[in-house]
């Protein structure tokens, strides 16, 4: 066997060319890297020019850049708050109160919008002509009128259409409390609040001091939830192994309700009902008109978009899935809940994330009805009082950005858990 190399093979191997600067533009191996480095350099020059321009303008105005204003006394009140606050506290504390108001409104708004959207999306596909047309009318009306207008409409309904507290007084009152516990008035909605006979105290976390009672309740609820999930997972494993699914519904109910009931009884939990005293109600929990208007406006408006997302997700599932479920004897309601919706989630979740982000950012419209959220506190009164509009707006943008990224991350985690797994 000859060890000589075939000259034709030697001639077919291209000789390695030396690197030249022209290859950065004309060689496809380096061109993309060159363009990216150039774009990054231009971006850095633009950011440097912007920072230098802002710094020069601040010097001409005799101003400095800093966030020391957050430690100054705010000097203004916030009508609805989740943590302790008064006008002698700092602007930083006021911003925290506004941030918590934003988060609460965003969470409750997303819950309301999701419930309305899922129900409306399913009913939009109903075979009942009247039901499907009524839901279609709701979707078209709400999603084609700006959010702010709906917020103002609900605010006007609460302020002008609801009875005054004086209507609940007298031997023959013209307004009545729901279940003798909830009062809907033109000054807001008054609902019962939970009080405890035994107080475990508070824990100082610096910015906030949450009640140990509520921390214990949240911990017990989380533990019950994970225990119920573990029970369901065990039932699934048994079903996969034996073909017979053990009965779990009463165990799940016991895991959820028994521990929390024991905690409530041990802490002496009881309801404080709102009572009419003087010209207004006292006691209980006061939900102001501004909060109700924002919650209903954002929730119902966004629910119209979610309804279309749910409808599209359901239509994306093959009709063969429904026919197979009917062939197995499943009723239409169980087919939708157990077969169609779980598969439609992979189509529904991505656009649903965008709607949650839009709702969260639209909470900044609370300024129109007097709801004291982050935009009204840090981005409104604090900036007007301190004159620190640059620092205030930067903080505002960073907080909204962090909040949006957090929502996206959580929803993406959920999306990865519910998407179909290939085997």
String of DSSP letters for 146-203: -HHHHHHHHHHIIIIISPPGGGG-SSS-SS--BTTTBEEETTEEEE-EEEESS---B-
10-residue mean pLDDT profile of the chain (423 residues): values are: 52 59 75 86 91 82 82 88 88 92 95 95 90 93 94 93 86 79 90 90 81 92 93 87 85 92 93 87 89 95 95 88 84 82 86 94 92 91 88 92 93 79 55
What is the distance between the alpha carbons of residues 362 and 106, in angstroms, rounded to a whole number? 9
Handedness of CA 367, 373, 375, 378 (dihedral sign): positive
- Please name every residue paired with 178 in a beta bridge, in sequence order, or none if there are none: 182
Region(s) of the chain under CATH 1.10.3720.10: 79-167+289-418
Number of Cβ atoms within 10 Å of the Cβ of 158? 24
pLDDT the model gives residue 40: 92
Sheet holding 183-185, edge to edge: 183-185, 188-191, 285-287
Beta-bridge partners for 206: none
pTM comes to 0.84
Length of the chain: 423
Q: Alpha-carbon distance 399 to 404, whole Å?
A: 9
Q: What class is the 79-167+289-418 domain? A: mainly alpha
Predicted confidence at residue 31, as pLDDT, reads 80
Rg value, the chain, Cα? 30
3-class SS at 281?
A: strand
Whether the CB-CB separation of 383 and 389 falls below 8 Å is answered with yes
* 302 closest CA partner among 112, 135, 86: 112
CB 101 within 8 A of CB 284: no
Closest Cα partner for 291 from 188, 145, 183, 217? Answer: 188
Helix (H, G, I), strand (E, B), or coil: what is residue 73? Answer: strand
Q: What is the pLDDT of residue 1?
A: 47
């Amino acid at each position: 066997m000859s060890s000589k190399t075939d000259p034709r093979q030697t001639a077919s191997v291209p000789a390695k060319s030396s690197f030249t600067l022209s290859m950065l533009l004309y060689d496809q191996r380096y061109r993309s890297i060159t363009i990216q480095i150039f774009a990054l350099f231009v971006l850095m020059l633009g950011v440097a020019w912007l920072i230098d321009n802002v710094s020069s303008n601040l010097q001409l105005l005799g101003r400095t850049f800093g966030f020391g204003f957050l430690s100054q006394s705010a000097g203004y009140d916030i009508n609805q708050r989740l943590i302790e606050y008064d006008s002698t506290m700092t602007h930083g504390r006021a911003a925290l109160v506004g941030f918590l108001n934003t988060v609460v409104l965003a969470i409750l708004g997303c819950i309301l919008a999701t419930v309305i959207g899922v129900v409306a999306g399913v009913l939009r596909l109903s075979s009942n002509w009247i039901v499907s047309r009524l839901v279609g009318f709701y979707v078209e009306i709400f999603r084609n009128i700006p959010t702010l207008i709906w917020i103002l409409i609900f605010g006007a309904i609460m302020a002008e259409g609801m009875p005054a507290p004086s209507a609940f007084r007298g031997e023959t009152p013209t307004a009545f409390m729901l279940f003798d516990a909830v009062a809907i008035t033109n000054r807001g909605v008054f609902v019962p609040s939970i009080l405890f006979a035994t107080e475990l105290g508070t824990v100082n976390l610096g910015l906030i001091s949450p009640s140990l009672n509520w921390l214990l309740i949240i911990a017990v609820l989380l533990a019950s939830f994970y225990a119920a999930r573990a029970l369901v997972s065990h039932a699934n494993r048994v079903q996969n192994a034996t073909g017979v699914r053990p009965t779990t519904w009463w165990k799940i109910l016991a895991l959820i309700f028994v521990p929390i009931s024991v905690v409530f009884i041990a802490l002496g939990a009881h309801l404080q009902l709102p009572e009419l005293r003087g010209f207004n109600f006292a006691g209980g929990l006061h939900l102001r008109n501004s909060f109700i208007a924002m919650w209903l406006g954002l929730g119902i408006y966004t629910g119209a978009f979610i309804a279309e997302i749910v409808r599209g997700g359901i239509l994306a599932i093959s009709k063969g899935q429904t026919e197979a479920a009917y062939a197995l004897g499943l009723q239409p309601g169980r087919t939708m809940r157990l077969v169609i919706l779980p598969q439609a989630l992979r189509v529904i979740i991505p656009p649903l994330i965008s709607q949650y982000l839009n709702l969260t950012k639209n909470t900044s419209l609370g300024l129109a009805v007097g709801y004291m959220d982050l935009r009204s506190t840090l981005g409104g009164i604090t900036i007007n009082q301190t004159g620190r509009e640059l620092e205030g707006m930067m903080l505002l943008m960073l907080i909204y950005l962090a909040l949006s990224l957090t929502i996206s991350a959580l929803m993406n985690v959920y999306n990865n858990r519910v998407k179909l797994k290939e085997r």
